[in-house]
Amino acid sequence: MDGKFAVVTGGASGLGAYIAEALCTKGARVIIADIDVKGAESVAKRISSAVPNAEIAFLPLDLSDPASIEGFAARYISEHDALDLLINNAGIMTPPYGLTEKGFELQWGINHLGHFALTYHLMPLLSSTPGSRLVTQTSIVHRGGRINFKDINSELSYSPWKAYKQSKLATLLFSRELDVRVRSMGMEAPISIASHPGLVNTQLYRNRERMMRWLRPFMHGLEAGSVPALRAALDPDAESGDMYGPKGWMEFRGRTVKVRPHGKGKDMDLASKVWELSENMTGLDLTMRLEDCAASESR
């Protein structure tokens, strides 16, 4: 990664901070994209002290606000001529019911639609950077996820856990559908790879303390939990459409290996429907953007 550019969403804490530091040790120029200004500045300072010659910067990003997402992308593109790695890592888990700036349920809006929009805005730079990768952080709970098309924003009934699983199923389906569409258009970049960290003791569980106490024996630490995303980002043998996660029981923890989607995560017809829904909800035609990028590559 010497001299290559990497953007890590949610890099101000938890797994994102570990991923950002690991990329810096590999020589990457890392940009932390996060809403938490103080946290990001603290992480950047710590990494700069711990990693000799680290190139680490911070740009504010609120994934619940389309204007912030577009502004982040515009600023990044104005200051950089390449994007070698985008890790869509940020996320929230089981908060009280709330809505994004555009009225989307928070987990659906931040975990999935926010990253969908960010990918849209950064796609021209990703596609023009040879060998670029887009890593999407999903969760093992995608295995129990369902996409409730009739109540996608949980307006009729809100279950924090069901909404979280729905959002993480969507992130996986997006990663897989992006791979299909990029390859079908003959584009060489970016390759789209998914990862899930297993069960990790992070602040994501702050709304589920009882669950965390029960799950703690099955969890591994932040360093181990960061490895699947790092394998997806760095493994020279990784291929578009791959997915990385822990090998252990129920994929909760263990050595990182290539894993397969579970449940609805295998349904590519569903992936196409989620893609179309995401375009309609965000008002961003990622299909046309990919076509434009493919046309630019062929010139």
Over the stretch 244-271, which tens digit does the pLDDT of each residue have?
A: 999 977 788 889 999 999 999 999 999 9
pLDDT of residue 204: 54
Residue 205 in this model has a pLDDT that exceeds 80: no
Please report, for the chain, how many H helices and E strands are present, in that order. Answer: 10, 8
Selected catalytic residue, list 76, 120, 164, 205: 164
Provide the mean pLDDT of the chain.
93
Strand partners, 72: none
The CA-based angle 286-289-292, given to 5 degrees, is 155
Confidence of residue 221 (pLDDT cuts 50, 70, 90): confident
Using a 10 angstrom Cβ sphere, with 0-12 exposed, 13-18 middle and 19 or more buried, the burial of residue 232 is: buried
Confidence of residue 155 (pLDDT cuts 50, 70, 90): very high
Active site residue 97: no
Residue 211 in this model has a pLDDT that exceeds 90: no
Which range has the worst mean pLDDT, 89-93, 207-211, 271-275? 207-211
pLDDT of residue 207: 52
Q: Is 241 left (phi over 0), alpha (psi -120 to 50) or beta?
A: left
Tokens 């990182």 -> residue: 256
Residue 89 in this model has a pLDDT that exceeds 90: yes
Cα separation of 23 and 78, whole Å? 23
Average pLDDT over residues 226-236: 97
The CA-based angle 236-238-240, given to 5 degrees, is 130
Give me the percent of the chain exceeding a pLDDT of 70: 93
Are 93 and 207 contacting, i.e. CB atoms less than 8 angstroms apart? yes
Average pLDDT over residues 30-47: 96
Give me the percent of the chain exceeding a pLDDT of 90: 87
Are 218 and 253 contacting, i.e. CB atoms less than 8 angstroms apart? yes
pLDDT of residue 208: 57
pLDDT, greater one: 205 or 277: 277
Cα separation of 266 and 288, whole Å? 25
Average pLDDT over residues 126-135: 98
Residue 220 in this model has a pLDDT that exceeds 80: no
Cα separation of 147 and 47, whole Å? 39
Residue 11 in this model has a pLDDT that exceeds 90: yes
Residue 118 in this model has a pLDDT that exceeds 80: yes
Query: 74-82: long-range contacts (C-beta < 8 A, 24 or more apart)?
Result: 74/121, 76/7, 76/31, 76/122, 76/125, 77/122, 77/124, 77/125, 80/5, 80/125, 81/125, 82/4, 82/5, 82/125, 82/128, 82/129, 82/132
Q: In what order do the strands lie in the sheet with 5-9?
A: 55-60, 29-34, 5-9, 85-88, 133-137, 191-195, 243-246, 256-258
pLDDT of residue 223: 87
pLDDT of residue 297: 78
Confidence of residue 198 (pLDDT cuts 50, 70, 90): confident
Domain layout of the chain by residue ranges: 5-298
pLDDT of residue 148: 98
Q: Is 187 left (phi over 0), alpha (psi -120 to 50) or beta?
A: beta
CATH no. of 5-298: 3.40.50.720
Residue 42 in this model has a pLDDT that exceeds 80: yes
pLDDT of residue 214: 52
